[in-house]
Amino acid sequence: MRDVAVVGFAQRQMPEFDGSPTCVEMLVPLLAECYEQTGWTRRDIGFWCSGSSDYLAGRSFSFVSAVDAIGVIPPVNESHVEMDLAWAMYEAWLKIQTGEVDTALVYAFGKSSAGVLRRTLGLQLEPYTMTPLWPDTVSLAGLQARAGIDAGAWDEAAMAEVANRSLTDAEKNEYSIRKGGSSVEDLLARPMYADPLRKHDCSPVTDGAAAIVLAAGDKARDVRDKPAWISGLSHYIDPMGMGTRDLTRSPSAARAAAALDLSGVEVAELHAPFSHQELILRRELGLADDVRINPSGGALTSNPMFSGGGIRIGETASRIWSGEISKGVGHATSGPALQQNLLCTLEGRN
Amino acid sequence: MGKQPAAVVGVGQTHHRAKRLDVSMAGLCREAIDRALEDANMTLDEIDAIVVGKAPDLFEGVMMPELFMAEALGAAGKPLLRVHTAGSVGGSTAIVAASLVQAGVHKKVLTVAYEKQSESNAMWALSVPLPFNMPVHAGAGGYFAPHVRSYIRRSEAPTHVGAIVAAKDRNNALKNPYAHLHNEGTTVESVLASQMLWDPIRYDETCPSSDGACALVIVSEDIAAASPNPAWIHGTVMRSEATTAAERDQVNPQASRDAAAALWKQAGITSPIDEIDAAEIYVPFSWFEPMWLESLGFADANGGGWRLTESGGTAMDGVLPVNCSGGVLSSNPIGASGMLRFGEAALQVRGAAGEHQVDGARKALGHAYGGGSQFFAMWVVGAEKPTN
C-alpha cells in the first residue's frame, strides 16, 4: 500500500444556506481554502470525487452543476458517489493506491433545509412495503433508542450526557449550529420530541459542504510537517430490514473496527446523528475510557447531509496537523439506524 | 506496490424489456448477478466487495436504493459502494470495481448496474425545472438533435448514414438473446420511413427505454488463473468537462478526445482502428456512431466516421465491428447501459459472445458517455495479460 495522507480540509455548516440546492456557491470558497492550505492550483489535483444526493437536491444529477465549482475546462479525471464524503474519499484513496494519480480532492454537499429532511430520508426505505407507511428517520431513531432502553443497554441519562458533552464542546467550534451545554438534569427536563428522543438527542437539520485533500508520500510531506497519514480505512454495510436487525447493535461498525488497529487512539470523531448512536458506536469500536469522543461537538451539534461523515475525518486530521494528537479515528455512517459504517484511522508519524 | 493486474471472469445480464413486471429491483439485479457468478464459477459468499451503479434515483423513486437492496445483493457484512456519474455510470462503476482489485485491496469484486425505468418516468425525472438552468423539456433526443445537425453540417455527411447505423444495430440485436428490441426485417429504407422525432433523428434511430441490469465479476491475477478465458483490463479512463461553456465543442468534446488519448496510451495502442478488434460504443441515437468513431480516433475528424460507417466498416464483418450486441439502440436500461458496453467488450475477447461473437477478437473497447456529452468512461480489455 502507498502511504497516503489527509493534507487539506475545509468545511461550512449553517442552518439554512441562502443559495442553490446544488451548493455550487458554497463549494467555490471551500476549494479556494484547499488550494491555500496546499499551495496548489486545480491543475495539481490528479483525481476528483464528490458525494451528494439527487433526492436532497430535488433534481437528477446533483453533481453536474457542482463540477462547475472546479472549473472543468480543460477536462478533469472525475467521479461521483451517491454517498457521504467519507466514501468519496475512499474512492479517491483507491485511485491513488492504483498508482494512476498522486493527489486527489474530494468534496460533498447537501442542502438539507430544501425539504423536510426526515421525510426525504424516509425515501431510503424498502419501497414496496415500508416506504408506503412513510416512517420518518427521526421516528426510526426513536424506535432504536427505545429498543436500547428496554434492553438495558443505555438510559435517557446516558443519552443526555452525550448531548451535554457535545453541546459544551461545540462552543469552541465555529461551524456548530447548535451549542451551549448545561447539565444532564436540565436536558432531561426538556420536552420529548420523538419519545424517548428530545431535540438535543437529534442532530439539527444542517446545510453544508466540506472538502478533503489527499496526497501520497512526498507530495504529502511537501504540504505539511505532520500529514495525517491514513493507516487504516475500512467500511461495511448491514441489511436494512428494521424488523430483523438487533437495533441496539451495529455489526458493520464492529466489523470495520476489527479490521483496523484502534489501539493508541486518542480522539474518536464518531458520526452519530442521534445521541444513543454514539453509545452504540463506542461499544462496537471497543474504545477505551480515556479516548476523547467528538471534541468538535460532533454530528449532534451540526450534521450536514453527505459531508457530515467526512467532516469527522477532517476534524481528526486537523488535530494531527496541529500536533495535539498523534493518532485518531474518524467515522462515517449512512442509512437508517447505523446501517452502513466507515472507519478511518489517521496517524501523525513521519 | 503499483497497479495490480485485474481481469473480468464473469459477465451476466438480464433479458432487457420495457417493463420487467415479473421482478423487483433487487430481483432484476440478482438475475444479472447470478448469471455473472455462474459464468465466473463462484458463489456470492466468495465475493469480497460489491459496487453498485445506477443513474438518477428519481428514475425509480427510491433514494439510494442500494441501502434497502444491500442484503438481496449479497452485500450484508461486506463493503458496498454506490457510484452515480450520469449515463456513463455503468462504465464508471466497472472502473471503480476494477480499481478495488488494481489497488490490491480486494481479490474478488462483484459489480452490478441497473435501471428499472418502468418504476417511474424518466422523462419526468430528467425534466424537473431547475433555477438558473436551461430547461430541457425535449428529453435527451431534443437535447442531442442540434449536436447531430452540427455534425452533419461540419462533416457534409449524407443524411442516410444514421439509418445505416440503426439498421445494423437492430439486425445485430437479433443475434443477442438478451436484447430488448428484436425488430426483424429492419432495413435502411424502413428506418428512413419511420416517424421523424427530432430532426434529423427518426423513431427507429432512437434507443428504447428498458428495464435491465448487468453484472461483472472482476478478480486479481491469482484468482484469474482459474478462469479458462479471463478478459484482462488493459486500461481504464474517466473524464468530465463543463455542461455549459461557450468554447465547448459538443460534437467532439475535449473530455472525449482527452479520455481516448489517455486510454490508448495506457493500453499501449498506437493505431486504434488496426489494434481494436471489436468496439461497444455508447450510441443512444444512431448518429453518435460516426461522431464517436471520430472522437475516439478510429477515423479522421469531420467525415472519417460516416465514411467508415457507410462503407460497412462497422458491421459484424467490417474492419471495426461496432455494437455487435445491438448496442444501446437495442437495449437501454440507462444505469446499466455503460456496463453492458464494458461487459460485451469483455465477452468478445473471452470468445463468449455467442452468435454475435467477432471471430478471433483479442482486444476490445467498452465506452460510455453521459449528461450532455460531458462525462466519459472507457476501458480496453484483452485476451492477453497486459505487458505494461
Do residue A97 and residue B105 have CB atoms under 8 angstroms apart? yes
Strand, coil or helix: A56? helix
Q: Are B253 and B374 in contact (CB under 8 A)?
A: yes
Mean pLDDT within A12-31: 93
Instruction: Spell out the residues 6+ positions from residue B149 whose beta carbon is closer than 8 angstroms to its own.
Output: B199, B200
Q: Please identify among residues 200-239 of chain B the ones whose CB lies closer than 8 Å to any CB of chain A.
A: 237-239
Nearest by CB to B78, from A1, A53, A237: name it. A237
CA B174 to chain A, closest CA, distance in angstroms equals 33
Q: Is B240 on the interface with A (CB under 8 A)?
A: yes
**B28, B44, B63, B105: which to substitute to probe chain A, counting the most A Cβ within 10 Å?**
B63
CA neighbor of B199 nearest in space, from B124, B138, B117, B267: B138
Residue A13: strand pairing partners:
A208
Q: How far apart are CA A106 and CA B277, in angstroms?
A: 37
Residues 52-71 of B with CB under 8 A from A: 55-65, 67-68, 70-71
The predicted model gives A44-50 an average pLDDT of: 98
| pLDDT tens-digit series, residues A136-154 | 999 999 999 999 999 999 9
Q: How many CB pairs under 8 A join A and B?
A: 183
pLDDT at A313: 98
| Cα–Cα distance, B382 to B85 (Å, whole number) | 25
Which helix or strand (DSSP H or E) is residue A141 part of? helix A137-150
Distance (Å, whole) CA A30 – CA B73? 36
Spatial separation of the C-alpha atoms in residues B331 and B12, rounded to whole Å: 15
Q: Which one has a higher pLDDT value, B294 or A61?
A: B294
User: From the candidates A43, A52, A94, which should be mutated to test the interface with B, based on the most B CB atoms within 10 A?
Assistant: A94
Segments of chain A assigned E as strands: 4-14, 47-51, 78-81, 103-111, 192-194, 197-198, 205-216, 228-237, 267-269, 292-293, 303-304, 327-334, 340-347
pTM of the full predicted structure? 0.98
Is A82:A52 a contact under the CB 8 Å cutoff? yes
pLDDT over 70 at B388, yes or no: no
| A83 to B1: CB separation less than 8 angstroms, yes or no | no
Contacts of B62 in chain A (CB under 8 A): 123-124, 127, 131
Q: What is the pLDDT of residue B80?
A: 98
pLDDT tens, residue by residue, A94-119: 999 999 999 999 999 999 999 999 99
pLDDT at residue A273 greater than cutoff 90 = yes
Does B81 contact A90 at a Cβ distance shorter than 8 Å? yes
Classified as helix, coil or strand, A118 is helix
Phi, psi of B221, rounded to the nearest 5 degrees? -55, -45
For A98, which of B24, B63, B102 is closest by C-beta distance? B102
Supply the pLDDT for residue B137.
62
Distance from C-alpha of B63 to C-alpha of A133, rounded to nearest angstrom = 16
pLDDT tens string B49-65: 999 999 999 999 999 99
CB atoms within 10 A of CB A182: 15
What is the arithmetic mean of pLDDT over A19-26? Answer: 88
CB contact under 8 A, B78 and A121: no
Contact between residue B345 and residue B381 where contact means Cβ atoms under 8 Å apart: yes
Work out the pLDDT band at B120, boundaries 50, 70, 90: confident
Taking only the tens place, the pLDDT of each residue in A61-89 is 889 888 999 999 999 999 999 999 999 99
User: Which residues have a Cβ under 8 Å from the Cβ of B42 and sit 6 or more positions away?
Assistant: B10, B108, B217
Strand partners, B7: B219, B232
Instruction: Kindly report, residue by residue over B214-261, the tens digit of the pLDDT.
Output: 999 999 999 999 999 999 999 999 999 998 888 999 999 999 999 999
Residues of B in contact with A336 (CB under 8 A): 67
* Cα angle A180-A184-A190, degrees, rounded to a multiple of 5: 75
B55: chain A residues, CB-CB within 8 Å:
60
* DSSP secondary structure code for residue B386 in this structure: P
Q: Per the CB < 8 Å rule, is B239 touching A78?
A: yes
For B72, name the nearest residue in chain A, comparing CA atoms only: A239
Q: Look up residue B367 and give its three cell numbers.
A: 465506452
Q: For residue B133, what is the nearest residue in chain A, using CA coordinates? A: A65
Q: Which residues of B146-181 are buried (b: 16+ CB within 10 A; e: fewer)?
A: ebbbebbeebebeeebbbbbbbbbbbbbbbbebbbb
Quick check: A324 and A262 in contact, CB under 8 A?
no
Give the helix/strand (H/E) hosting B8: strand B6-13
Cell reading at B355:
452468435
Mean pLDDT, chain B, rounded, equals: 95
- In three-state secondary structure terms, A62 is helix
User: In the structure, what pLDDT confidence band is assigned to residue A22 with cuts at 50, 70 and 90?
Assistant: confident
The set of residues, in sequence order, having a beta carbon less than 8 Å from that of A16 and lying 6+ positions away, is A113, A207
pLDDT at A188: 98
Angle of CA points B87, B93, B99, to nearest 5°: 145
Report the pLDDT value the prediction gives residue B121, as an integer from 0 to 100: 81
Distance from CA of B8 to the nearest CA of A (A): 17
Q: Is B78 on the interface with A (CB under 8 A)?
A: yes
H helices of chain B, in order, are 25-40, 66-69, 89-102, 122-125, 139-155, 161-173, 188-192, 221-224, 254-266, 272-275, 288-295, 304-310, 334-349
- A60, A83, A99 ranked by CB distance to B125: nearest: A60
Helices (H) and strands (E) in chain B, counts: 13, 11
Q: Name A186's Cβ contacts closer than 8 Å, sequence gap at least 6.
A: none
Q: Give percent of chain B with pLDDT exceeding 70.
A: 97
A213: β partners: A8, A105
Does residue B72 carry a pLDDT above 70? yes
**How much is the average pLDDT of B379-384?**
98
Dihedral (CA of A140, B120, A341, B216) sign: positive
What is the length of chain A?
350
Nearest Cα neighbor of B166 from B211, B210, B207 is: B207
* Interhelix angle A308-321/A85-97, nearest 10 degrees: 60
* Cross-chain Cβ contact B68/A77 below 8 Å: no
Strand-strand pairing, A267-269 and A327-334: parallel
The cell for B31 is 438475475
A98 to B85: CB separation less than 8 angstroms, yes or no: no
B58 to chain A, closest Cα gap in Å: 7
Can you give the pLDDT at residue B138? 65
Give the pLDDT confidence score for residue A20 in this predicted structure: 85
For residue A72, list chain B residues with Cβ-Cβ distance below 8 A.
Answer: 240-242, 255, 374
**Stretch A242-246: mean pLDDT:** 91
Where does residue A54 rank: exposed (0-12), middle (13-18), buried (19+ CB within 10 A)?
A: buried
Query: What are phi and psi for residue A346, nearest 5 degrees?
Result: -125, 140
User: Which residues in chain A touch residue B259, judged by CB atoms under 8 angstroms apart?
Assistant: 75
Cell of B357: 461473437
- Per-residue cell: A148: 436500547
Residue B84 touches partner A, C-beta closer than 8 Å: yes
Cβ contact B216:B36 at 8 Å: yes
